[in-house]
Structure 1
Amino acid sequence: MEEGVEGAVSVRAGEHAQVSICYNYGCSREAEVRFHRARLLRLGARLGQAANAEEERARLAGEIGMLYRIAATQSPVAADRAGNYLDGGVEGRMDCIDHATSTTRLLKLLEARGWLRFHRVAEPARRTRFIFQHFSAVIEERSVEKAGPNPGGADGVPPANAYVVDSWFGDNGEPAVVLPLAEWLNGGGPNVQ
């Protein structure tokens, strides 16, 4: 699943950025999406207004949605609906693998520009419930002191400073769901199935 996340973001200093967006389930198709400098600078300014990590996560939810709205003008992902069943197999549908991969790439774009002041991008996470699997992009808060019995996510317990940024739960362009990784691993998030 992680394959293809690195190297899928192209940033030209002071110009624009290109990000490869996955779709049609399992990242079987990809489209290069260009984000113009002026839009990116406005996005960076909005993220820069966050006074703390909690505010940055709240702003990230909306900005990821906005980046997907831009992607929908240059690719078929406008057809994507929440979950896996509402888009009826149309061109541009996205499953959780498409979302986890693409959202991680979008987050890496923001990180590369220095716009994530309170977080860093981590590897995507996977949860398994019964026979179902679900993937999501993950960020980790930089400023949280790692204390207690599980300082860094050892022993299979997620670190307390990790959060999912899950765009799969909504229709294309809606704000991503951002919640603690531990809550998400326990089945947290909207019921879209």
Structure 2
Amino acid sequence: MKISGSRLYLPLLVFAALLGWTSSAGAQSFRVCHGYGCYFQTPVTLTSGDRSRIAGIMASGRKSAEAERAAIRRAVQVFELRSTQVIGVADRPKMAFGAAREKGQMDCVDESTNTDHFLRYLQSAGMLRHHSVGRRESRGSFFDGRYPHFAAVLRDASGTLWAVDSWYEPAGGKPDVMRLAEWKERGFNSQR
């Protein structure tokens, strides 16, 4: 049976689309949440320059878990700056009550979701040597005098959990990275 080029081409094209292959091989895209509670989701693609810069930053953290956490702080900055460049609005620090559905502004749900997705990208790209990504965590419940707050989480080789919280800084600021147990005790009066 003879198969023409066009008959073979269509199934290959469908197969490639299902696998997520595109003409921009190696591109990494995210749906970045903003507007509070992921009201808006803007597609953001890291350029080859972004990916190279992030890979270089992460390579500087290979020596130890502590060095890797410092590298993660810098890599998150690059990701946030790229995201706000695409969105067109720079996020202010923390959140302003009543500013929901404001394009570019992020509450802790947006921030922790975006950071979690970025950390999972680092993990899938083999850039995390000393940590794995855990489930996002929360603290505060109104009843304890704290507003509910969320953060992305890392687990080191010893099993220690680390919060990665970028909410307190404007877009592109270094996120807090601290032991999750310490992070859970904080947060009264919107203080770190």
User: TM-score by structure 2 length?
Assistant: 0.78
Letter matched to residue 49 of structure 1: S
For residues 1-193 of structure 1, what are the structure 2 equivalents within 5 Å?
15-50=26-61, 51-78=63-90, 80-85=91-96, 88=99, 90-131=102-143, 132-142=147-157, 144=158, 161-187=160-186, 191=190
Q: Determine which structure has greater relative contact order: mean sequence separation of CA pairs < 8 Å that are 6+ residues apart, divided by chain length.
A: 1
After superposition, the C-alpha distances for 1:57-108 in whole angstroms (9 at most, x for unaligned) are 0111111011100111111451x11111289554211000001111100111
**Runs of 5+ unmatched residues, structure 2:** 1-19
Among all aligned residue pairs of Structure 1 and Structure 2, give the percentage whose two residues are the same amino acid: 28
Q: 1:71 to 1:190 in 2, by over 3 A?
A: farther
The structure that is strand-richer by fraction is: 1
List 4+ stretches of structure 1 deviating above 6 A: 10-13
The structure that is helix-richer by fraction is: 2
- 1:169 is paired with a residue whose SS is coil
CA–CA separation in structure 2 for the residues paired with 1:43 and 1:173: 14
Letter matched to residue 28 of structure 1: Y
**Runs of 5+ unmatched residues, structure 1:** 1-9, 147-160
Q: 1:65 to 1:87 in 2, by over 3 A?
A: farther
Letter matched to residue 107 of structure 2: D
Shift of 1:39: 2.0
Contact 2:29 2:46 in 1 (8 A): yes
CA–CA separation in structure 1 for the residues paired with 2:65 and 2:162: 11
Contact 1:168 1:176 in 2 (8 A): yes
Contact 2:163 2:178 in 1 (8 A): yes
Contact 1:14 1:37 in 2 (8 A): no
Count residues in correspondence.
Answer: 167
Letter matched to residue 174 of structure 2: P
